[in-house]
A and B are shown apart, each in its own frame.
Chain A
């Protein structure tokens, strides 16, 4: 079975500092991986996804993630945090079941940005 683990339920960074949110996956086959962001009282929005085309994936709002097979990781980074980045971030894997593909999510990491 495929799953994802997000290390750190809560991460705090200073405005302008590097953002690093960790995600490790377990999969017996090449995974398809996603990062979603959820702002307070809103639905989830896709930041970026890995579909095996390139290991370094660039997303919206300056975020990017690198797929590292040797480390089974797909960490999300942003060089300089902005106050508007404060939100909850979810890593997800596309899980095959009976011919369909649903998302299995990690438990989420809440990002706080300190002015």
Chain B
């Protein structure tokens, strides 16, 4: 158990819908990262928050957004869903934001768009 929790574990929805994925980082970790894992694209970095502020963006679509709240939990919002958005979405957290920091991964949310 990494100490990072993600809900829900599974999510099935239809095209055009909007969903919210939730992540609670390890106690004391200030950085939260979101990754997408799909068969064709592999593991890709989406976005990072550090202590409530957006720190970096990767290959995140404009239809996707995220935020980190004062209690440091984070939510990833996916809207106007398409079939290709079906994937595993991971949240990871680290203590701060150093290049050598270990990122601890949650169990993931499996999103299926029908």
Contact = CB atoms under 8 A, between A and B. Distances in A.
Contacts of A97: 56, 58
Contacts of A70: none
Interface string B93-114: 0000111111111111000000
A51 B102 CA distance: 11
27 contacts: A32-B99, A32-B100, A34-B102, A42-B108, A43-B2, A43-B105, A43-B106, A45-B2, A46-B104, A49-B102, A51-B100, A94-B100, A96-B99, A97-B58, A98-B55, A98-B56, A100-B48, A100-B50, A101-B97, A101-B101, A102-B33, A102-B48, A102-B56, A102-B58, A103-B33, A103-B103, A105-B44
A102 B57 CA distance: 9
Contact residues of A: prevailing secondary structure? strand
B43 A100 contact: no
A104 to B, nearest CB: 7
B42 interface: yes
Interface of B: 2, 4, 33, 35, 42-45, 48, 50, 55-56, 58, 90, 92, 97-108
A67 to B, nearest CB: 13
Q: Which of B56, B98, B101 has the most CB atoms of chain A within a 10 A radius of its CB?
A: B56
Contacts of A43: 2, 4, 90, 105-108
